[in-house]
Amino acid sequence: MYCALRRPAILQHRLLVSVLLPSQRPARTIKTTEQNTGRHEQGKHRKLGLTVALTGVFGLLAYKQTLSNDDQHKAGNNNRWPHWPTVCAKTNPLSSTPKRSQRKDFNFIADAVEISAPAVVYLEIRDRQHVDFFTREPMTVSTGSGFIVESDGLILTNAHVVVSKPHTMVTVKLTDGRTFPGYVEHVDPASDLATVRVRCNNLPTLKLGHSADLRTGEWVVALGSPLALNNTVTAGVISTTQRPSQELGLRGKDINYIQTDAAITFGNSGGPLVNLDGEAIGINSMKVTSGISFAIPIDHAKEFLRKINEAPTGTERRSPSDVPTYRRYIGITMLSLTPEILGELQQRNHKFPPIVRGGVLVWKVIQGSPAYSGGLQPGDIITHINGKEIKNSSDVYELLLEQDKKLSISIYRGQQLTTVHVFPEDTTA
């Protein structure tokens, strides 16, 4: 009997194992007793069983030898024979454990917002001397943001948000939809900070961080209500940790602002600038252009709050009508165009007029103000007023002290030079 064993993947290897079985002689019919016949059959079965057993043993030995020779042949002829891909299915004992979502691991902005957003509020400033024609409600002249620093209803915001126009009232809207009248308690025009109080307890608060150890390039998140869109979030990095107010041409301020490329626009003013731990590290204050925005450091605001707490009860409390204002009012917030600011504007905005070498940038216009009625718009660059060259914001304030009833203001809007006429209001009337 011949048994040929071969391996399917290696055709060139074949081992023939030969096992000789007893020859089959022609059977003779022998009449004998029944006992002899049984013995003869048992002998035949024993021989056949032994033959099969030996065949299996030799076959197993030959197969193992073939595997050994095949491995040696592969090791010596790697360049001669092709490598056949091996597929191995292995059961992972941890496969039953669900994979952790990457949204949980890498959405660090969302984590910071989840912590800080509940304490951010929307501020609406209305003029009590003018009412809406349809609703008969006081007309909205400005919007802003703030954030709760004490659970009994103390809100921190910018001074220019709540006292930007005389005879106004403040309405505060929380993130849960509740609305309260706001009462301006403390105002510091020099630092552009103010506090507003609502009569409500157990409110969520925002933890105040530290601005002294901020690093350039650090991630920050700006929260607020730009263009009256509540609960808006933008993110960016810190461009500069200390930008002196003198470089911005801001009058009467001694603050080193935080510069960031996080989008801050109208309505964001007064809202928090938070770090990735969900801590307030600044108060959004102004936007110059896309990618250039400024915030008041939170350490400066902490000092403002400390002075409030140390002051005797009933002192330093001012209503909007009691806040010292300029004798004449046009209703704009402006920024002096220093050489540094001009350089950044020219790099970031290809529509910036190249002929401009100075002036002031209008970055906010109060709705319903003389400037609004005269046609001034955010982004306008004032170069001359009544023929006098304007180099910084101080020049504008000096002209407002004069008694001219009409101001002819030369502006660049984009790259087009035009003139608008503004009639200032007397805020003491």
Q: How far apart are CA 175 and CA 119, in angstroms?
A: 8
Q: What is the DSSP letter of 198?
A: -
Q: What is the DSSP letter of 274?
A: E
Q: Do 258 and 214 meet the contact criterion of CB atoms below 8 Å apart?
A: yes
Which residues, 6 or more positions from 114, have their beta carbon under 8 angstroms from its beta carbon? 278
167: pLDDT strictly greater than 80: no
Q: How far apart are CA 99 and CA 102, in angstroms?
A: 9
Domain boundaries, the chain: 115-198, 218-306, 328-426
pTM surpassing 0.85? no
Tell me the Ramachandran region of residue 409: left when phi exceeds 0, alpha when psi lies from -120 to 50, beta otherwise.
beta
Looking at domain 218-306, its CATH class is: mainly beta
Q: What is the DSSP letter of 164?
A: S
Tell me the Ramachandran region of residue 416: left when phi exceeds 0, alpha when psi lies from -120 to 50, beta otherwise.
beta
pLDDT of res. 98: 66
- Nearest of 310, 391, 393 to residue 356 by alpha carbon: 391
- Residues with a catalytic annotation lie at 160, 192, 269
Q: Which CATH architecture has domain 115-198?
A: Beta Barrel (2.40)
What does pLDDT average to over the chain?
Answer: 77
pLDDT of res. 5: 43
| pLDDT category of residue 66 using cuts at 50, 70 and 90 | low
pLDDT of res. 308: 87
Q: What is the 3-state secondary structure (H, E, C) of 25-69?
A: CCCCCCCCCHHHHHHHHHHHHHHHHHHHHHHHHHHHHHHHHHHHH
Do the first three CATH levels of 115-198 and 328-426 match, i.e. the same topology?
A: no
- Nearest of 325, 297, 320, 332 to residue 407 by alpha carbon: 332
| pLDDT category of residue 392 using cuts at 50, 70 and 90 | confident
CATH code, 328-426: 2.30.42.10
Any idea what the Cα angle at residue 334 is, between residues 333 and 335, rounded to 5°?
145
Q: Sign of the C-alpha dihedral, residues 255, 300, 361, 365? A: negative
2: pLDDT strictly greater than 60: no
- Per-residue pLDDT reduced to its tens digit, 83-136: 555 555 555 555 556 667 777 778 888 999 999 999 999 998 888 777 777 777
Which residues, 6 or more positions from 256, have their beta carbon under 8 angstroms from its beta carbon? 241, 242, 243, 244, 245, 297
- Per-residue pLDDT reduced to its tens digit, 214-234: 999 999 999 988 666 667 888
3-state DSSP call for residue 371?
helix
